[in-house]
């Protein structure tokens, strides 16, 4: 069993299932930034007013894709995969809060 520390790691990896039209989601491992509870609440309060690209860049720092993590490549992901931003946000919140989906 892992020991709890009061400080949190600045980043953590998590697998995100990016929805694909007509098929199963594609798994992408993103490196997420840790935000405190207060910071997460602030992000959530501004969610509707924050462009998807800005939101993803505020919560993540990289991915395990062949393509580099750049603003243009993140924009391309969000433009071509309509459910990507929501999937990324939901995974991020679930990982930060420890809330897991029931089977």
**87, two tokens:** 């999937």
What mean pLDDT is reported for the chain? 92
Mean pLDDT of all residues in 81-95: 96
Is the model's pLDDT at 103 over the cut of 70? no
Task: Say how far residue 32 (Cα) sits from the centre of its chain.
Answer: 6
pLDDT band at 1 (very low <50, low <70, confident <90, very high): confident
Is the model's pLDDT at 102 over the cut of 60? no
Contact 78, 53 (CB under 8 A): yes
pLDDT tens per residue across span 14-57: 999 999 988 888 999 999 999 999 999 999 999 999 999 999 99
């Amino acid at each position: 069993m892992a020991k709890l520390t009061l400080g949190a790691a600045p980043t953590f990896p998590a697998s995100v299932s990016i929805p694909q039209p007509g098929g199963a989601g594609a798994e992408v491992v993103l490196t997420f930034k840790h935000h405190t509870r207060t910071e997460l609440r602030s992000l959530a309060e501004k969610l509707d007013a924050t462009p998807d690209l800005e939101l993803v860049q505020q919560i993540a720092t990289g991915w395990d894709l062949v393509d580099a993590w750049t603003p243009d490549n993140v924009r391309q992901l969000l433009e071509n995969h309509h459910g990507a931003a929501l999937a990324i946000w939901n995974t991020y919140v679930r990982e930060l809060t420890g809330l897991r989906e029931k089977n």
